[in-house]
Structure 1
Amino acid sequence: MTVRDRGLAVVVAVLWGANFIAMHVGLEYFPPIFLAGLRMLVLAVPALVFVPRPRVPLRWLIGFGLGFGTLQFLFLFLGLRAGMPVGLASLVLQASGPFTLLLGALLLRERVSGRQWAGIGVAVAGLVTIALVRAQAAAVLPVVLTLLGALGWASGNLCNRLAQRDGDRVDPLHLTMWMTVVPPVPLLVASAVVEGPATGWIAVGAMFSWDGLPALASLGYLSVVATVVAGAMWTALMRRYPAGVVAPHSLLVPVVGMALAMVLLGERPSVVELVAGAVVVGGVLAASAPARRRRVTDVDATVA
């Protein structure tokens, strides 16, 4: 990669790391399920009007939307609302990488190298350590919810991959935009049932007041900056270089997320959690490395 493109990859990682702070702010104003649906609704409307529908099988488009756009953010936002520290959430969500490899091996019979299996094992060991530490504080539920979000992301990755494999000249950014058409209905219906039919919309009305400006800024960041701007830059890098060259830069996301959470929110993870986090990052890095003598062309992830 050129120096300029490495810098661009770092900028994307910073934008995605700051995304978790925006989630924290948004969840102070909106119910979690509603916020997950509203974030996607903001993008779904212009996607329907302005973005050409990608020529991919409908089942993979729906699967991408349900996995990446619905289940990931449903469980992630519920985990954050249940008490998952923001910085730790940015780290635990990286379990989507090993989950993607596991699902690919189990469902698509993709080959996983010994080094990748070892990386999965290391990452799982780190995640189990974090869960045990949290369990001692009676806070294991937020970790489980965040892991379910990572599993949703991984299932979306597989559908994304299959859509691009079976589609005709697919533009990844168009595919990502059209993915947002799927989540609003199930998420907003679930919000109406669980959180109340008017609760979220009352928060939307208050968002346009002076006190609601942080909520408006959070929603704008989640929808426009983190998804469209950062996603477009990441897609451009993925088109320019093999995925194995670009993808490791995403491991900077939890570093940025945890650093910002410590500075802005005063979070202080324990020494054990920090060590376990380093183990998780190392395992994900090993698991995400492509097998030798194998050209990697799939775009495996779009970060939260």
Structure 2
Amino acid sequence: MSNAIKETDFHFPGQQGFYKGKVRDVYMFDKELIVVASDRISAFDVVLPKPIPYKGQVLNQIAAKFLAATADIVPNWVTSTPDPNVTIGIRCEPFKVEMVIRGYMSGHAAREYQAGKRTICGVEMPDHMRENDPFPTPIITPTTKADEGHDEDISREEILKQGIVSASDYEQLEKYTRALFQRGQEMANEMGLILVDTKYEFGKVGDKILLIDEIHTPDSSRYFYADGYEENQAKGIAQKQLSKEFVRQWLISNGFQGKDGQSVPEMTDEIVESISDRYIELFEKITGEKFQKANTTEIESRIEKAILSHLGQKIN
């Protein structure tokens, strides 16, 4: 097994703060953020006990590719990627909502629909839809961005009523979200895939809105294989997915859904390696590029050197 990054604990000159997310370690400076994509993996809002080799590199490089490919639509936070696991960019004030957009009746929307609901986040869903059918037009179903706990569904009207985002900014976020999703779908189609749903996060520096975080990765998006989609829908067969869903299904089949009293099943070396292999497969199918494994013999040292070089410092 290759080495993997479970966590980092660097201390850089000029550093003002540190934040450890579920999968990323964020080093804060006056005007920039340095984000290390660790190999931690989460499911059901729980960080699993073992990291997955190359997972951080996979997500970081997919995000870098799609952020670069959409920079003509909306400016983004990235200024450089000095290491396969590191992204450096502009520190801005994040909007307190995540812009979720759905092209198909899948995932959370399908579960709500099957429970008899015909409205999600204030958006009406047509009658007589089946799971994984396309919506007539993609729908935006925002969530609150919780500092702790779970994100919650919220409507456009409630966002404006509570003053979470101004009307003019929210209108711009919706325009950016639809344009990004259209570009993402076009790029997915070129790879023989369908971009089913995804989420975008935005921030602001002064009066300028920036696209932040990662986009179009298998952790933030759901993909179907285009080949066989129509036939599967006609027969009522589950669609073949390209996402983190396989990890959730492994956990569910072993009695874990993040509920009280449940224990994460044993992550054997074989399980860890198989998840790593799947993430590499996801990278190659989504990008159409061959995955180049980074050197992991001294992975923390490699990352620290890259960041110090960016900061203009020499490592001791």
Judging by fraction of residues, say which structure has more strand. 2
Q: Which has the higher contact order (CA 8 A, sep 6+)?
A: 1
Confirm or deny a common fold (TM above 0.5).
no
Larger Rg: 2
Normalised by the size of structure 1, how large is the TM-score?
A: 0.26
